[in-house]
Amino acid sequence: MVKGYRLRSIALGVIAAVIVVVAVPAGSAYALNVWGIYKEAQQLDAKGKYGEAIAKYQIAAAEFVKQGEYGNATNMYRNIGADYSYLGKYDEAVANWDKEALYADKAGQTQVSIAAKRKADALRSRAQLFVETNAGAFGNANTHGEIFEPKNGALLGAYAELDPAVHNAATGRPFYTEGFEQLTGKKHAAYLLYFNYGKPLSVLKSHIEHAKAAGTAIQIGLQPMKGLDEVQDDEYLRQFAQDLADAGIPVFLRFANEMNGDWVPWHDEPKKYKEKFRLVANVIHKIAPDNVAMVWAPDRVPEYTINDYYPGDAYVDWVGVSLYTIFTPTLDPLKKGEDRASHIEKFDYIYKQYAQRKPVFISEGGVSYMYPEKLQDKTLWANYQMKQFYASLPLLYPKVKGVFWFDSNHDSSNRVKYYMLSANDKLLSAYKKSIASPFYLSNVGEESPIAYRSINGSTLNAAPQKVSAYVKAWTPMLSKVTYEIGGKVVATANDVPWAASIDFKPYKGKKIEIVVKAYDTKGKLATTQKTNVTVK
């Protein structure tokens, strides 16, 4: 996507989480003086007596729910959640903000519901445990049989032509297909290019030749910058499709991406968008069926309009998503200047919507190492988010089939973006470590030898097992995770994905509880999570 269009913060960041005084409907009758109780709760809040205020709000909330006045109930649960957060009881705060989201949705307050869920997710603690296993054990469970799709594993990709350390556009020495591999220490399976609809494919001649020589695929972000009306079933489109077929390399054709965002010219016309996507897909599938995959790729926000633009399974080969994270402390529900959101969990909606139907991948994305508004270095935070993302993706989302890192620092109309690996040695080091896993593939046609099986509430064999975990807590970064069985620490891990070898032979034939304790960067216990496992 042309980044000058990106106004990513508008979708959620401007939602005000303030108390709205909802008028009492005429004729409402309460079993108690609910507004008097509400006033008492506010007075207790003003005195810092949050526990007592919570009890009052709970009474009022229950009455509003009973009367079906969900807007008023929404406000009560917002206050209850806030008071629990002031007391440092974050699990209770999350539970009540979840109720705020629930009742806001019932009241038709979509944006309020989204904001409440965002607050709750920022502080939500959870742990999910996995064991590493041979990918062959999954058979075809993680595949859809689409073109270029590995049964297990994710193709490594990047956008790299704006990184001067890996690409010289004037001389071609270095060219990103070689330079990025040298920079990161691992061959990437594909590279992203942006391309304006209406231009001849010959513009990309050198890119195609280098891709062919390097044995890489290309992802083409095909952008109708003049609007959707320029897209017709005509000589241009058919010649374009034929040129793609003749290119002799695997091509992911991402047509008019981020259509759900108002920063692109093809936004806000879902019916026309679907018509044009189907038109392009029909031509591509007819003329270039053997080496071109049609990619449908919204932005991750706004979520509530994404499905309106889906053209249908017959026209889509892969589903992509743009997934970026920039440090945003204004959304911190604790108002302490932290960004507590999880980069990887932003992928959750797209995955749950489409991964059962199509291979899903991050068609572009990254974590910025600078807080642009303050020009504050956030490398440690970015490194943690990046490492957690690449380490946890195979655990949480086994049907993800590709990841493209946006390797660029560039200006735009609203925020400077800082994702360039060559500009930050620590970020580069974290990236190298992150992609070292054999789950991340260097060539189209490769398969991952490993996969992961969730063991929460499940079974595992009485043998030594390599256990990993996705752990999320209210604190944005963790430094250590311990595993306890029977009150005894059996393993300690000091980095994501918190991998540890645990011998389960002593527990054969037993149902055991594994206690996961996670610690913040100061060594303070942040969360304790438990799961039951049956050892066979």
Average pLDDT over residues 346-362: 97
- Residue of 410 and 217 predicted with greater confidence: 217
Size (the chain), residues: 536
The secondary structure of residue 230, as a DSSP letter, is G
Average pLDDT over residues 252-270: 97
Condensed to tens digits (0 to 9), the pLDDT of residues 25-51 reads: 444 567 789 999 999 999 999 999 999
Domain with CATH 2.60.40.10 in the chain: 455-535
Query: What residues does 453 pair with on adjacent strands?
Result: 131
At a CB cut-off of 8 Å and minimum separation 6, what does 136 contact? none
Domain with CATH 3.20.20.80 in the chain: 130-450
Please give the Cα distance from 219 to 208 (Å, whole number). 11
Burial 211-229 (b: 16+ CB within 10 A, else e): beebebbbbbbbbbeeebe
Tell me if 296 sits within 8 A of 263, measured CB to CB. no
Query: Cα angle at 41 between 37 and 44, to 5 degrees?
Result: 140
CATH for 3-124 is 1.25.40.10
Condensed to tens digits (0 to 9), the pLDDT of residues 313-352 reads: 999 999 999 999 999 999 999 999 999 999 999 999 999 9
Strands 464-472 and 318-325, how do they pair? unpaired
Strands 360-367 and 318-325, how do they pair? parallel
Condensed to tens digits (0 to 9), the pLDDT of residues 287-323 reads: 999 999 999 999 999 999 999 999 999 999 999 999 9
Average pLDDT, the chain: 94
| Three-state SS sequence of 399-428 | CEEEEEEECCEECCCCCCEECCHHHCHHHH
Superfamily of domain 455-535: Immunoglobulins (2.60.40.10)
Backbone angles phi, psi at 304, to 5 degrees: -70, -10
> Helices marked H in 11-69 — which ranges?
34-46, 50-66
Query: What residues does 491 pair with on adjacent strands?
Result: 483
Domain with CATH 1.25.40.10 in the chain: 3-124
pLDDT at 409 over 50: yes
Condensed to tens digits (0 to 9), the pLDDT of residues 157-188 reads: 999 999 999 999 999 999 999 999 999 999 99
Element (H, E) at 202: none
Condensed to tens digits (0 to 9), the pLDDT of residues 88-144 reads: 999 999 999 999 999 999 999 999 999 999 999 999 999 999 999 999 999 999 999
* Both structure tokens of 389: 């993302």
Taking 3-state DSSP, the helix, strand and coil percentages for the chain, each rounded to the nearest 5, stand at 35, 25, 40
CA 190 to centroid of chain Cα atoms = 20
Backbone angles phi, psi at 270, to 5 degrees: -60, -40
Q: Is the dihedral of CA 441, 446, 449, 454 positive or negative?
A: positive
Question: Has this prediction a pTM greater than 0.85?
Answer: yes
Q: Which fold has domain 130-450?
A: TIM Barrel (3.20.20)
CA 238 to centroid of chain Cα atoms = 35
Average pLDDT over residues 195-212: 98
The secondary structure of residue 383, as a DSSP letter, is H
**CA-to-CA dists, residue 39 to 22, 35, 36, angstroms:** 14, 6, 5
